[in-house]
Amino acid sequence: MSVFLLGGCGALAVLLGVGLAALVVTTHRRERERRDRWRQWAARYGWTYAESPQVAWTDRVPGRSRRGVRFALTGMLHGRPVGVAEYAYTETHTSTGADGNQTTNSQTHTYVVCSVWLRRQFPALAVAPRHVFSKLGRALFGSDSYATGYEEFDRQWRVGAAAPGQQALVGPTLIGAHLAGAVPAWSVRGAELITYRRGRLDDPALVPSLVTPLITVADLLEQGR
C-alpha cells in the first residue's frame, strides 16, 4: 500500500511540475505578445519603444528602483515630447513564526509613469494628496511652510518645494484644476514633469487619456496660472 501511495504522490508531483512549467511558458508568451503590441503601436505612430531604459525619475516614484522600468515609449502628443512607461518594484517581507521558522513573502507593485518635458527649467516641486497623518498634523499644528493660502486646496493637497516661496509656482488655475479633479498628483525637476498611478500598460488606446491631464499641468505651470 505504501508503494502505491508513494507512486501516487510522485505522479502528483510530476503533474504539478508540468502544470507549473506550462503556466510559466504561457505567461512569458503573453508578456512577449503584449510588448510586441506596444512595439508595433510605437512604430505605427512614430513613437520610440525601449526595453529597460535608464531614466532620471526613479527616485521620485514608489520603491525608487533604478532598474524598475520594464519598458517605455516616447513620442509627441499635443505638440509636446512625452513618455509613458511601465515600472515595478518588489517588496520582500520575512516573518518568524512561533516555531522559529522563517517565512518570506514577496509582492510586486506595478505602476504606469507618464512624463512631459517642459519648455523651461523648474526647481524641484511636487503636489500630492494629503494622507491621514498629514491632515491630522495640519489640523493640530496649522499650515506648513509651503501652504498656498487656498484653504480647501491646502486641506486636501500638499506642496513640496525646494525652498519656501516656490509654492507660488502652483498658480490659482492649477489649484482649481486639482480641486476639480482634472489633474493628477505630479512632481517636476528641471524640465521633466511626471505623474504615476498603479496598474499596467495594456491598452495603447488609453495613452492620450493617461498623458493629457499631465500636459494640462505643464501648460499651467509654464504660464504661471
The cell numbers describing 175, all together, are 489649484
Cα dist. 57→52, 159, 192 in Å?
14, 18, 8
Report the predicted TM-score, pTM, of the whole model to 2 decimal places: 0.82
Residue 19: per-residue pLDDT = 61
Beta bridge partners of 129: 157
Phi-psi region of 22 (alpha: psi -120 to 50; beta: other; left: phi over 0): alpha
The amino acid that residue 151 corresponds to is: E
Encode pLDDT of 48-60 as tens digits: 999 999 999 999 9
The cell numbers describing 161, all together, are 518645494
Determine how many CB atoms are found less than 10 A away from the CB of residue 197.
Answer: 11
Encode pLDDT of 130-187 as tens digits: 875 555 555 554 567 789 999 999 999 999 998 989 999 999 999 999 999 999 999 9
Q: In what helix (H) or strand (E) does residue 215 lie, and over which residues does it extend? A: helix 207-223
